[in-house]
Chain A
Amino acid sequence: MLKETKPLTELQLVLFELASEHYAVDSSNVREVMRMQNITRVPGAPTFVKGVINLRGKVMPVLDLGKRLGLPGGEHGKDARIVVVEVGGQSIGMIVDGVSEVLRIPLSIVEPPSSLVTPDDLNYVIGVAKLENELVILLDLDKLLNASEKRTLSVGGRGDSQN
């Protein structure tokens, strides 16, 4: 009930960790959080695509979000989770090092990204939220998963003809 009434002053976020940094996405995009499970590797897929899993009878791609963001990282520990988000009508899983909490923050503590990150990232970083104990990087899922990927992925693709 709060989300609709105060969309401009508040953000509801899902916070998670990646390479010892804090990230967050808008909670309205997040469908569920799953434990790590066996992921079927897809040969020929972009390197940041870890593979596909069975999400209640549907085949869902899972990304290594760290790799997608160009962060250093290796094996996923036991706290690793798959955050299932819905972007542009399709479900995508993102592997993160751990999910910490769901948080509501006032927009006023969010700083635009300009001076803090490299221009390359401007595209999908909405801003940085200054919490009491930590800085949280807010990601724009639409830009992160859809716009940029679609461009690179659709080259030579077969499009939707199979649907």
Chain B
Amino acid sequence: MARRNLILILAAVILASIPLFMSFEGEKVFGGADGQAQDAIHRIRPDYKPWFSAIWVPPSKEIESLLFMLQAGLGAGLLGYYIGLRRGEAKGRRAAEGDASY
């Protein structure tokens, strides 16, 4: 399983890296798709005014990335805890079964 998963993860990393080696025109290379959609809305309906704005906006790019990191970090931490716990349990079980058969 470990080998198979390593190949899958490697494939995911390669897929995510390919665009970095491509060249693109325009000033907003690797901008967010959400922002591009916003621009497209303004092109289709130049008169459209958003009628509600975010109640709180992260005061800087740094704070925004802090919160995104926090989101990813909390998720990864919990996921890692879960997998580690179950792996340890499975190992313990196998060891106990191994002892019993002697």
Q: Decide whether A and B assemble into one complex.
A: no
Q: Which residues of B contact A (CB under 8 A)?
A: none
Q: Which residues of A contact B (CB under 8 A)?
A: none
